[in-house]
Copies of this chain bind each other. A is one copy, B any other.
Amino acid sequence: MTVLDRLSLNQATVKRLGVAAAADLCARHGIGAIGLWREPVAEIGLDAAVAAVRAAGLRVSSLCRGGFFTHADPVDRQAAVADNKAAIGEAAALGTDTLILVSGGLVPGSRDIGLARRMIADAIGELVPVAQSHGVRLGIEALHPVFAADRCVVTRLGEALDLAAQFPADAVGVVVDTYHLWWDAALSSDIARARNRIVSYQLSDWILPLPADTLLGRGHVGDGHIDFPPIAAAVAAAGYAGPIEVEIFNEAVWSAPPDETATTVIDRFPQAF
C-alpha cells in the first residue's frame, strides 16, 4: 500500500463535474475513493449516484454535508434536523460511514455565540440515534474563524472535540481539515486527544492573497503556507488510517481541465506526508 491508496478526491475540487463525470475522472486516474456532495447527488438522484460510484469501482469516503443548525425560528431548526436525518440516510445509501457537518454561524439577528453553540449541540443530540441506526458517524468540522459569524461558530479542533465528547464515539467524531486548522498552536495536542474521534482528514493549502470570496482561497497542496507533514504525522499517530480527501475551493482550479486537476492532486499528494 502506498500513500496514494489513501487518496480520495472530494467532489468540490472538480465542482463543475456531476457525480458520474467525477467518478469517471477518479477511475481513469486510479483514485480509489471520492467524497461526494449532496447537491450533485440530488441532481442525478440517489440511486443513480450509487450506481455511478459502483460502476466506477469507488469507495465513498464521506458525504458533504449536513449541519447549518442555527436558526432563530424553531420550525427552521426542526427542518434542519429533519434534513440532516435525510442526509444520514443518503450517506448510508452511498456506502459511506461519514457525514460531514458544517454547524452554522451566529443565529440570524443574534450576537450570542453561546446560543449558537447550544443549538448545535442540541441538534447533534437529536441526530445521534439516527446516525447510530444507520452506522454513520457525524463529523464535526471546525471551520477557520474567518467563517465564524456566517458559517460555523465551531472554530477550533479542540472545540469540535469538546462538542463531540458529549456524544458516543461511534456516532460523533471530528474532521481535521488543514486549511481550517493549520494556524492553531494547540493543533498537535488536539489531534492527539482526538484519538478514535477523527472521521475525516482533508487537505488543501492556505494561499495568499485571499480572494474576494474568502470561501475560495484554497490551493493545491504545496501552493501555500501550510506545513503538511507534521499534521499528517499527528493524524497518523492518533490512529486515523482512513481515506484522505483533497478538497479545494478555488475558482482557478474549478476552471482548469478536470484531468489536469486530478493529475496535480495526485502529483502533490505525497508532499503532504
Q: List residues of A whose CB falls within 8 A of some B CB.
A: 106, 111-113, 117, 144-146, 148-150, 153, 155-156, 158-159, 162, 182-186, 206, 208, 210, 212, 214, 224-227
Contacts and interface: CB of A to CB of B under 8 A. Distances in A.
Contacts of A226: 111
Given A149-B206, A158-B186, 13 more contacts: A112-B227, A113-B182, A144-B145, A144-B146, A145-B145, A145-B146, A145-B183, A146-B146, A148-B183, A149-B208, A150-B208, A153-B183, A155-B184
B155 A185 contact: yes
The 6 A-B pairs with the shortest beta carbon distances in the complex, nearest first, are A148-B183, A111-B227, A149-B225, A145-B183, A146-B146, A159-B185
Nearest to A185: B159
Among the interface residues A148, A149, A183, which one has the most CB atoms of the partner chain B within 10 A?
A183
A146 to B, nearest CB: 5
Copies in the complex: 2
A215 B113 CA distance: 23
Nearest to A211: B212
A206 B148 CA distance: 10
A144 B162 CA distance: 22
Nearest to A148: B183
* A interface majority secondary structure: loop
A53 B224 CA distance: 44
A119 B155 CA distance: 26
Given A111-B225, A225-B111, A145 B184 contact: yes
B225 A214 contact: no
17 contacts: A111-B225, A112-B227, A113-B182, A113-B183, A113-B227, A145-B183, A145-B184, A146-B210, A148-B182, A148-B183, A149-B206, A149-B208, A150-B208, A155-B185, A156-B184, A159-B186, A210-B210
Contacts of A183: 113, 145, 148-149, 153, 155
A227 B112 CA distance: 6
A180 to B, nearest CB: 9
Contacts of A117: 185
A232 B191 CA distance: 32
Given A214-B210, A225-B149, A156 B144 contact: no
A142 to B, nearest CB: 10
